[in-house]
């Protein structure tokens, strides 16, 4: 079982979550934040670029996966696309994702566009690095 650290708890608490929301978490392994978000919203999809990360989430969030409040998919942020017929997300967030925090700027340009495309028109993207989070502007 993966416990929610004080830092991740502060990030989750700072997100403007509401019970009916669909949330996208980018780079969510090992799944601790996603489990907490799943308690507060209708559904969370967690994407992670690595098969190992996806396996960690599947193991750590088995109950949330079983009850349908959480799903997981292997995908890099810069390659993510909604599945045919998949509803857009209301909010996206990421913690320590290089494509979004400036460590990989070229990947970041593509990732921001892919995330914007997966969000509802009023959807918002938050990353860590603020106090404790900050909103990133999206290309529209």
Coil vs helix vs strand at 89: strand
Give yes or no for residue 102 having a pLDDT over 90.
Answer: no
pLDDT tens sequence across 18-42 = 999 999 999 999 999 999 999 999 9
> Omega before 132 cis (within 30°)?
yes
pLDDT tens sequence across 87-101 = 999 999 999 998 998
pTM above 0.85, yes or no: yes
**Structure tokens, 46:** 């967690």
* Buried-state track 32-46, b at ≥16 Cβ within 10 A, e below 16: bbbbbbbebbebbbb
| Domain boundaries defined on the chain | 6-136
What lies within 8 Å, CB to CB, of 41 at 6+ separation is 17, 18, 19, 20, 21, 22, 23, 69
Domain 6-136, architecture per CATH: 3-Layer(aba) Sandwich (3.40)
**Structure tokens, 64:** 């949330």
Give yes or no for residue 133 having a pLDDT over 80.
Answer: yes
Give the pLDDT confidence score for residue 1 in this predicted structure: 54
């Amino acid at each position: 079982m993966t416990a929610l650290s004080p830092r991740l708890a502060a990030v989750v608490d700072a997100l403007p979550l509401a019970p009916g929301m669909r949330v996208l978490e980018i780079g969510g392994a090992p799944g601790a934040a996603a489990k907490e978000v799943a308690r507060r919203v209708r559904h969370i999809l967690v994407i992670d670029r690595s098969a190992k990360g996806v396996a960690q989430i599947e193991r750590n969030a088995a109950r949330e996966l079983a009850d349908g409040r959480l799903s997981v998919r292997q995908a890099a942020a810069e390659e993510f696309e909604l599945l045919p017929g998949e509803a857009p997300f209301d909010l996206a967030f990421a913690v320590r994702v290089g494509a979004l925090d400036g460590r990989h700027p070229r990947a970041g340009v593509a990732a921001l566009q892919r995330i914007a495309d997966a969000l509802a028109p009023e959807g918002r993207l938050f990353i860590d690095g603020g106090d404790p989070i900050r909103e990133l502007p999206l290309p529209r």
